[in-house]
Amino acid sequence: MKYIKDIIWDEVFGGWRQREANNPGWIKTATEIKGWPNWESWRKFTVSQLGLEKLDWQLYEFTDPLTEISKILIGPYGGWQSRVANKNKSTFADLLNNKEQYEFFKKHDAVSSLVKDFPKETEFIGLLRKDLNKIVLIEGHHRAVAVALAQKEGKINWSSMVKIVLAELPTGSEESLLGNVLARGTSKDKK
C-alpha cells in the first residue's frame, strides 16, 4: 500500500454514507432487520462500539489490490463471521477456500455483479490489528469478497485507484474489542 494523506473521521464516515445510505438494501437491513430508525443510526452504533471516531485515520492506495484485499481479515459482524471457523482471524481468501462459501459467493448476485463491473473508484474502511499485523475490514465486505473471488478465478482487470482508510486498533485491546462487537452484534436490541 502507498500512503496518500491523513484524513479526519467526518470524511471517512461521509464516504461510508455516500456508498451506502441511499441503497435500498442497506436501508432495509438497518430498519427492518437490525431495528434501527435509519441507516445512519445503525452505522453510528458500529462506530461507537469500535470507537472509530476517536482514532487517527490515514488514506492509502492499494498497490496490488487483488493480493492485498484478499488478505484482509473479515470484520466482526455475525453474518460474515458465521461463515468461517476461525472467528475474527479469517481472511477473505480463507473464506473462499471453503468450498461451500466459494460456491455460495460465486452465485451471489451482488458479488457476481461486482466481479463483472468493479467500481471505477472505490474506498474501503479498515483497522490495523497490530497483534496479527493484519487489516480488519470495517466497511466493504461485498466488494472485498468480490476481489477475493476475482483473484481466485483471475477475473478482474484493474484500471482504477482502489483506496482504504485505516486507523490502528489500540494495542492490547484487539481481541477483546472485536470479540465484544461480534458477541453484541449491530441490532438495536441485543439478541
Residue type, 4: I
pTM: 0.94
The answer to whether 58 and 165 have CB atoms below 8 angstroms apart is yes
Cell of 108: 451471489
Rounded CA gap, 9 and 176, in Å? 23
Torsion sign, CA atoms 72, 78, 79, 83: positive
The answer to whether 126 and 120 have CB atoms below 8 angstroms apart is no
**Strands 134-139, 162-168: pairing kind:** unpaired
Residue type, 34: K
Strand ranges for 92-182 from DSSP E: 122-129, 134-139, 162-168
Per-residue pLDDT of the chain (191 residues; tens, 9 = 90+): 999 999 999 999 999 999 999 999 999 999 999 999 999 999 999 999 999 999 999 999 999 998 999 999 999 999 999 999 999 999 999 999 999 999 999 999 999 999 888 888 899 999 999 999 999 999 999 999 999 999 999 877 666 789 999 999 988 888 899 999 999 999 998 76
